[in-house]
Structure 1
Amino acid sequence: MNHIASRSVRSRHTRRIVLLGLAALGVAGVARILWRPLMMSAPMCMAGRWHGCFDTFNGVVLMALVALPLAALVVWALASRRRATGAASPWRTSLADVGMIHGTAPFLWLTLMPGAAAGLVPGRLSLIPLRDLVTMGPLGIVGNLLVFAALGFFAPMRFAVLASVPRILALGAVCSTLVETAQYVFRLDRVSSVDDVLVNAVGAALAALASRRWWRGTAEVPGGRSRPVPVPTGRAA
């Protein structure tokens, strides 16, 4: 019995290592593709200049990648502290906390970045569904899918009350509506589009589906904690 349990533990550890390795390879592949355009912003970022770094897509992505080691250090510090206090799943909750912030903040920055005529032109609305979708193009659609992808991926792992694809879909829609409202109210020279809300919400839901294996067995319990939900294996005779 102990031998079977030991093999199960080793199998889980092996799967985790394989998944981490695949994730690292994926990040390395993306970095390889983006290396040349990102390096165009490197001199501006290294000099600490706002223009050419923090007001460009390449510059923001570059700084997000540079901050990855710091994010990993924060995950380690949080997990160590939680493990010392006996908290449940310290590594998973710590990774979820940092992942939600680090994975969402750069996209929010890019989405709320003022345009050339910010403050000079009135806010613009596009409330007809699917009208803007055909003009977004593949890159625009992928970008909008990624805005709240990190939130959708990690939120159900962190909060049991959000461990549901429909709830993550609603969360993504609410967050995106707030962003689009901010674009309109602050006159950022951007079009506040209902299609952005739809694609952002779908991106969050798809990311939640991708992480479902890590949160589908949790349920909300009193006190804000989560516990595994027992799965019946059969009916009593």
Structure 2
Amino acid sequence: MLKGWHGWIGTFTGVALITVAMLPLAALTVWALARGRRATGTTPTWAWRRSLAEVGIVYGTVPWVWMIMLPGDRAGAVSGRVSLVPLRDLLTIATAGPLTAAVQVVGNLLVFAALGFLAPLRFAALASVPRILALAAGCSVLVEAAQYVLRLDRVSSVDDVLLNAAGAGLAALASRPWWRATARASSDRLRSAPVPGR
């Protein structure tokens, strides 16, 4: 059992349990947002899609960022470490064993996967794989910089940025059929809308 507040907010297990416990609240938030949008005249499909995308981005990203911002055993006692040579950390992880390497790589790919999957569905301006890659890379750089500045006893690595961005890009490709259909539907609605003065 987790004991004390640190066991809940300061460990991977605690964060995972809190994330699961927050699922009903996330679902309720989606419902409330969709209902509010429907009350303002938004079609049910668009109301639900937008609400689900917004909540999904937050719910699917915050726990991962929370986990990678957890301090190590010597946080505050050691200065930040930086690794700017691409693929060096990945090669080091590979020597630690296949299971450790798989967990590290998959974990990094998932950090901004929800953002990559859902942001193009919600924001038309982000309906592009290069834009999602740029957004995820920018967010990842901010997280890595925060790890360094806050002296969390973690390595701020360019490989983490590459994996985080790659995960978001792959997720965007997975949702591409839906956001391309959404973009086409939006352009069709604009073309069919009556022009004022005609």
TM-score by length of 2: 0.86
**Counterpart for residue 92 of structure 2:** 135
Gaps of 5+ in 2: 94-100, 190-198
Counterpart contact for 1:117–1:189, Cα < 8 Å: yes
TM superposition shift of 1:227 = 1.2
TM superposition shift of 1:229 = 5.4
TM superposition shift of 1:174 = 0.4
Matched, 1:108 2:65: yes
- Residue type of the partner of 2:39? A
Whole-angstrom distance in 1 between the partners of 2:92 and 2:147 = 19
Query: Of 68, 90, 97, which residue of structure 1 is paired with 2:23?
Result: 68
**Counterpart for residue 183 of structure 1:** 147
* Secondary structure of 1:121 counterpart: coil
Judged with a 3 Å threshold, the aligned counterparts in structure 2 of structure 1 residues 229 and 181 are, in CA distance, closer, same or farther, namely farther
* Secondary structure of 1:217 counterpart: helix
TM superposition shift of 1:135 = 3.0
Query: What does the per-residue CA deviation read over 1:77-118, in whole Å, with 9 as the maximum and x for residues that have no partner?
Result: 100110110125000000011000011010110111111111
TM-score by length of 1: 0.72
Whole-angstrom distance in 2 between the partners of 1:93 and 1:229 = 18
* Aligned sequence identity (%): 64
Whole-angstrom distance in 2 between the partners of 1:66 and 1:210 = 27
Matched, 1:156 2:113: no
Matched, 1:227 2:191: no
The size of the alignment, in residue pairs, is 180
Whose RCO is larger (CA < 8 A, sep 6+)? Answer: 2
**Counterpart for residue 202 of structure 1:** 166
* Secondary structure of 1:211 counterpart: helix
* Secondary structure of 1:184 counterpart: helix
Whole-angstrom distance in 1 between the partners of 2:11 and 2:188 = 46
Query: What does the per-residue CA deviation read over 1:29-53, in whole Å, with 9 as the maximum and x for residues that have no partner?
Result: xxxxxxxxxxxxxx32xx6x22222
Counterpart contact for 1:123–1:184, Cα < 8 Å: yes
Gaps of 5+ in 1: 1-42, 221-225, 231-237
